[in-house]
């Protein structure tokens, strides 16, 4: 497995406090377990590392001897994803593990002992869920900030 992280992506994930080793860990775990969602040759995988759930968005090419992954982005959130609340709308994502279409829906999200429903991509079959980048970096980051402020 060869993992390429372009310079501009290294810069972005550095700002987000994500380490290169975390990115490799997420991809290697996803590729060995096949737990990820895919859209064409785009892959979205996640792993809980420390206090955060780290996501890596990457493209995969199968070479003759090994797979090559090119990292497009990485991000994280601190809310913990729980049970699927609903799965309502079609998405273009496919759960690689189940080989079933993943849906847009809502998942119970817990942070600082408070649980709320939030939007996510879900697989009704294996009950796993993923938060896309714009939601994690905008909406969830704002919610986490609010909770931290209330607690402070
Ligand atoms: Zn699944």
Q: What is the tens place of the pLDDT at every residue in 9-55?
A: 999 999 999 999 999 999 999 999 999 999 999 999 999 999 999 99
What is the distance in A from the centroid of ligand 1 to the CA of 141?
26
What is the distance in A from the centroid of ligand 1 to the CA of 68?
24
Question: Among 66-70, 93-97, 100-104, where is mean pLDDT lowest?
Answer: 66-70
What is the distance in A from the centroid of ligand 1 to the CA of 31?
14
pLDDT above 80: residue 152:
no
**Measured between alpha carbons, how far is residue 68 from residues 40, 58, 65, 74 in Å?**
15, 10, 10, 17
What is the distance in A from the centroid of ligand 1 to the CA of 152?
38
**Measured between alpha carbons, how far is residue 40 from residues 49, 101, 143 in Å?**
27, 12, 31
Residue 138 token pair: 């905008």
pTM: 0.94
Backbone φ, ψ for residue 64 (5° rounding): -65, -40
Q: What is the DSSP letter of 152?
A: -
Write down the architecture of domain 80-151 according to CATH: Roll (3.10)
């Amino acid at each position: 497995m060869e993992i390429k992280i372009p310079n501009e992506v290294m810069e972005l994930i550095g700002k987000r406090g994500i380490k290169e080793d975390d990115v490799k860990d997420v991809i290697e775990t996803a590729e060995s377990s096949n737990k990820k969602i895919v859209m064409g040759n785009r892959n979205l995988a996640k792993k809980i590392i420390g206090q955060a759930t780290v996501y890596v968005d990457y493209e995969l090419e199968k070479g003759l001897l090994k797979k090559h992954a090119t990292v497009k982005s990485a991000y994280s959130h601190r809310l913990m994803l729980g049970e699927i609340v609903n799965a309502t709308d079609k998405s273009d994502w496919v759960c690689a593990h189940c080989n079933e279409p993943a849906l847009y829906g809502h998942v119970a999200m817990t942070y600082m002992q408070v649980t709320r429903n939030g939007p996510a991509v879900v697989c009704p079959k294996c009950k796993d869920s993923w938060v896309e980048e714009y939601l994690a970096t905008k909406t969830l980051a704002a919610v986490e900030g609010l909770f931290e402020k209330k607690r402070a």
